[in-house]
């Protein structure tokens, strides 16, 4: 699964979902994804992560995606987090 | 949730026995894994006084029941006021955002 495919897949979380993908090793199977989406509203971080992993369950199970570390935010959380740095 | 396994309800009971409970490798005093150690550090830094640690290495059946209960594949697993919060990465990230302190200060609902 290449970065473009992964980005498109994660954008299916819903409208106004912003996804940034980093291929950590250049081998297209160790990714970090930063996702900002209204779909995360009112959800604990663990539930946000579960929503994301559900989208790539097949690729994770098959090992096509070996590692995926996540940074998830609602739009409001993202503004708050970025205002600190 | 598979309720036929009696150990699952034991996991639930333990998870509610303190404001913060961590199922981990080793104990808070003697952690046997870096992620477990870091999670304990973060919880203390967030102000947890009564951290309860459960060593899954010494109780395989309980470890299986834990994974059935939370449907989360890795350890450590952290509960705040009886609610499953996540593993080391999530707890560390929540700490950085101040969300962990919020969860701890939230009165048990």
**Domain boundaries along the sequence of chain A:** 3-83
Peptide bond into A42 cis (omega under 30): no
The mean pLDDT of A30-57, rounded to a whole number, is: 96
Q: Are A35 and A72 in contact (CB under 8 A)?
A: yes
pTM above 0.80, yes or no: yes
Cα distance between residue B33 and residue B66, in whole Å: 18
**Does B1 have pLDDT greater than 60?**
no
How many Å separate Cα B66 from the centre of its chain?
10
Cα distance between residue B52 and residue B29, in whole Å: 11
Minimum-distance CB partner of A81 among B85, B89, B97: B97
Identify the residue among A44, A61, A70, A85 best suited for mutation to test binding to B, counting B beta carbons within 10 A and taking the highest.
Answer: A44
Chain A: residues touching B (Cβ < 8 Å): 44-46, 49, 69, 71, 77, 80-81
**Does B3 have pLDDT greater than 60?**
no
**Does B108 have pLDDT greater than 60?**
no
Averaged pLDDT of chain A: 95
Q: In CATH, what class is A3-83?
A: alpha beta
């Amino acid at each position: 699964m290449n970065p473009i495919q992964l980005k498109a897949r994660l954008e299916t979380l819903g409208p106004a979902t912003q996804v940034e993908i980093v291929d950590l090793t250049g081998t297209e199977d160790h990714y970090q994804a930063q996702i900002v989406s209204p779909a995360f509203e009112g959800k604990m971080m663990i539930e946000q992560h579960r929503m994301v992993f559900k989208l790539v369950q097949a690729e994770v199970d098959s090992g096509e995606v070996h590692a995926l570390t996540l940074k998830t935010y609602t739009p409001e959380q993202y503004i708050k987090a970025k205002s600190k740095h | 949730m598979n309720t036929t396994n009696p150990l699952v309800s034991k996991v639930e009971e333990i998870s509610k026995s303190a404001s913060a409970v961590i199922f981990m490798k080793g104990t808070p005093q003697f952690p046997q894994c870096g992620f477990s150690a870091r999670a304990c550090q973060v919880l203390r830094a967030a102000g947890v006084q009564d951290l309860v640690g459960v060593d899954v290495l010494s109780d395989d059946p309980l470890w299986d029941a834990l994974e059935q209960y939370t449907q989360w594949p890795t350890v450590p697993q952290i509960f705040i006021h009886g609610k499953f919060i996540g593993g080391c990465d999530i707890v560390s990230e929540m700490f950085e955002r101040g969300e962990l302190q919020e969860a701890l200060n939230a009165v048990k609902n």
